């Protein structure tokens, strides 16, 4: 019997992550830069070269997207070029109780990341996803997505600082200085952003844990920028690089076009 093969795609503001899943496990993956003008043909070429995909070999394509501008191309890429049915995940498909004023406003990446964390750990959970934005997402006992926080991402904040400050240099790579007491502007900026976000994460976790039902929450870090602060955190945490993709993979076998 042929094993179902599913392409799972996480479309974020900075990165498009693709993963082929078989039997609910990731076989191989690929990352692309998110561009508003990306075409279905570009996606197909990348999938053929990076994942070895050919037309007609997928059972379905399952997508979690927070970038509506690229969704028409993703649909064509799936249906016309890969010849596979396509599903865009919405909040109703995720088996969590969503305690949010208007669930339609909730970024699907936040919900999928929370669901992805549940595949590793039991609630209560606080997931911290560090990308273009930094999000804190809380899951209480009883599989309840209880809300969270959104703030500018670490690099987004640093880029904004250099754009607004005419005499401030662009900093790359972002490396923590050896001392928090900086003696030059570059170290002052990198130290400020890294140690500042470290303290921000520690402080917000402490405040969130004071909420009823989150006192014993497991902390799960994720996202492409989490590695910049993880070695400086004084709180216990687990690191899962691709929580959102894991959430899509976990859902992919249960939802149908």
**Reduced to 3 states, what is the DSSP secondary structure of residue 240?**
coil
- Per the listing, tokens 């590793």 go with 120
Q: What is the DSSP string of 136-202?
A: EEEEETTTEEEEEEEEE-HHHHHHHHHHH-TTPPP--S----S-SS-SSHHHHHHHHHHHHHHHHHH
Q: How many CB atoms lie within 10 A of CB 58?
A: 20
Query: Which residue among 10, 109, 129, 242 is the active-site one?
Result: 109
Token pair, residue 175, equals 């490396």
Per the DSSP assignment, residues forming a β-bridge with 151 are 134
Q: How far is CA 188 from the centre of its chain?
A: 28
Q: Dihedrals φ, ψ of 230, to 5°?
A: -60, -40
* Cβ–Cβ < 8 Å for 39, 93: no
**Reduced to 3 states, what is the DSSP secondary structure of residue 60?**
strand
Q: Dihedrals φ, ψ of 238, to 5°?
A: -115, 150
**Reduced to 3 states, what is the DSSP secondary structure of residue 211?**
coil
109 given a catalytic annotation: yes
Cα angle value 208/214/220 (rounded, 5°): 80
> Measuring CA to CA, which residue among 63, 7, 173, 97 is closest to residue 72?
63
Active site residues: 109
């Amino acid at each position: 019997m042929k094993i179902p093969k599913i392409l799972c795609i996480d479309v974020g503001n900075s990165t498009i992550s693709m993963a082929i899943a078989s039997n609910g496990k990731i076989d191989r993956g690929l990352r692309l830069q998110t561009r508003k003008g990306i075409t279905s043909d570009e996606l197909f070429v990348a999938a053929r070269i990076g994942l070895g995909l050919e037309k007609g070999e997928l059972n379905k394509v399952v997508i979690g997207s927070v970038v509506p501008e690229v969704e028409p191309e993703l649909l064509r890429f799936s249906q016309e070029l890969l010849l596979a049915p396509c599903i865009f995940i919405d909040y109703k498909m995720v088996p969590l109780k969503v305690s949010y004023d208007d669930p339609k406003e909730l970024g699907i990446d936040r919900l999928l990341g929370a669901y992805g964390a549940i595949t590793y750990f039991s609630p209560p959970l606080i997931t911290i996803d560090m990308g273009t934005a930094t999000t804190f997402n809380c899951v209480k006992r009883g599989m309840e997505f209880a809300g969270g926080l959104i703030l500018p991402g670490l690099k987004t904040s640093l880029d904004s600082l250099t754009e607004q400050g005419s005499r401030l240099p662009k900093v790359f790579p972002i490396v923590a200085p050896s001392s928090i007491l900086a003696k030059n502007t570059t170290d002052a900026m990198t130290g400020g952003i890294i140690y500042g976000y470290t303290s921000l994460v520690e402080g917000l976790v402490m405040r969130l844990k004071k909420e009823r039902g989150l006192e014993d929450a497991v902390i799960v870090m994720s996202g492409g920028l989490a590695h910049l602060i993880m070695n400086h955190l004084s709180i216990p945490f687990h690191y899962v690089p691709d929580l959102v993709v894991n959430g899509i993979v976990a859902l992919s076998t249960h939802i149908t076009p």
